[in-house]
Structure 1
Amino acid sequence: MPELAEALIETKLSAVRSWYLAVRDRYPSALVPDWRVGTAEGGAPLLTVQVIGQGAQEALHHFASAYPLVLGNAGDLRPVFEYRPGRVVCVWRTNGVWVEMWHHDLPAVPAPSPALMPRHRPLSPSGRLPLGQRLTTIRRQYATKEN
């Protein structure tokens, strides 16, 4: 069991160091403060943490793409994204420990509604006045010339 505890501590320290090296300049308020230890489905140890703060979603994607982790042991796996109900998870395996960093799957923000415009006849796509207004304008021009 001491080997397992050492592997968990080493893996957590490596993940935290890699996280902050990857995101500190671009996403300084994205944090990974509350690590939890558990067991994966296959029985292997599991470290999991929620990425919180402003830009958490972008920071996790940047972290996975920048990939500053060193994987040098047999059985180590590169980070991949999984989509689970309500969350997006970046998961990898190192030192025999599964690591999950996740954020809530944020719903798309609805587009703002357009401001109400005063009612008037819109211009045609060509930029010309609508036919009714053009005819009225033309009639006024001819009426002015005749007088």
Structure 2
Amino acid sequence: MPDTSSTVIQARMQAEHVWNTVTSIRKLSARLGAWTTGRSPDGRHRLTAQVTGPDAARAVTLFASADELVLKYPGDLLPQFDVAVPGRTGLVWRSLGVWVELWHPDTPTSLPTPRPTAPARTVVGEKLGRASARLPFGRRRTTRTP
């Protein structure tokens, strides 16, 4: 595996490449903020970037399911959502031994909006006593043989 400084750069370049691919294909306006570097609690290098824009939550979710993120080194981990920090949702994975995190603040607009549903149809004055009165087809008749 390459030295530490080059692995941090490679992990960032990989994340940016996949991000640009996902957002351009889906025509999303969410953008990555500036990258910050540091150390994670386990002592490994850590890269963090905030995702901004009206569709930040959707972009992070699509990024998580992207097939373009190739993790091929021992110890690499697939992206997982992290909600441990109140008020934000993060997507964390390990690539080349570097922890990478994309996060967005939790806002009411980042929550999924329910789809409107059509009201139930009611039929006034129709008899509903028999099955054939409710269904668009009549009962099937069978003939008995003696």
TM-score of the alignment, normalized to the shorter chain, above 0.5:
yes
Q: Secondary structure at the match of 1:78?
A: strand
Q: Distance in 2 between matches of 1:85 and 1:12?
A: 25
Q: Distance in 2 between matches of 1:47 and 1:67?
A: 21
Q: Residues 132-143 of structure 1 correspond to what in structure 2 (within 5 A)?
A: none
Partners of 1:37 and 1:48 within 8 A in 2: yes
Q: State how many pairs are aligned.
A: 113
Structure 2: gaps spanning 5 or more residues: 114-121, 126-146
1:10 lines up with 2:14 in the alignment? no
Q: Residues 108-147 of structure 1 correspond to what in structure 2 (within 5 A)?
A: none
Q: Distance in 2 between matches of 1:20 and 1:40?
A: 25
TM norm structure 2: 0.70
Q: Secondary structure at the match of 1:18?
A: helix
- Offset of residue 67 of structure 1: 3.7
Would the alpha carbon gap of residues 67 and 87 (structure 1) be closer, same or farther in structure 2, given more than 3 Å must change? farther
Q: Secondary structure at the match of 2:74?
A: coil
- Offset of residue 53 of structure 1: 1.4
Please give the per-residue CA displacement for 1:53-89, whole angstroms capped at 9, x wherever unaligned. 1201111001101242110000000000011201000
- The residue number in structure 1 matching 2:77 is 77
- Offset of residue 29 of structure 1: 1.4
Q: Secondary structure at the match of 1:68?
A: coil
Higher helix share: 1
Which residue identity is paired with 1:28? Answer: L
- Offset of residue 127 of structure 1: 7.3
Which portions of structure 1, spanning 4 or more consecutive aligned residues, are displaced by more than 2 angstroms?
Answer: 125-128
Q: Residues 62-101 of structure 1 correspond to what in structure 2 (within 5 A)?
A: 62-83=62-83, 84-101=85-102
Partners of 1:31 and 1:51 within 8 A in 2: yes
Q: Secondary structure at the match of 1:74?
A: coil
Q: Residues 5-84 of structure 1 correspond to what in structure 2 (within 5 A)?
A: 5-83=5-83, 84=85
Which residue identity is paired with 2:13? Answer: L
Structure label with greater radius of gyration: 1
Structure 1: gaps spanning 5 or more residues: 112-124, 129-147
Which residue identity is paired with 2:12? Answer: K
Partners of 2:23 and 2:29 within 8 A in 1: no
Q: Secondary structure at the match of 2:92?
A: strand
What's the RMSD between the two structures over aligned residues?
Answer: 2.2
TM norm structure 1: 0.69
- Offset of residue 126 of structure 1: 8.2
Q: Secondary structure at the match of 1:23?
A: helix
- What is the percentage of aligned positions where both structures have the same residue? 39
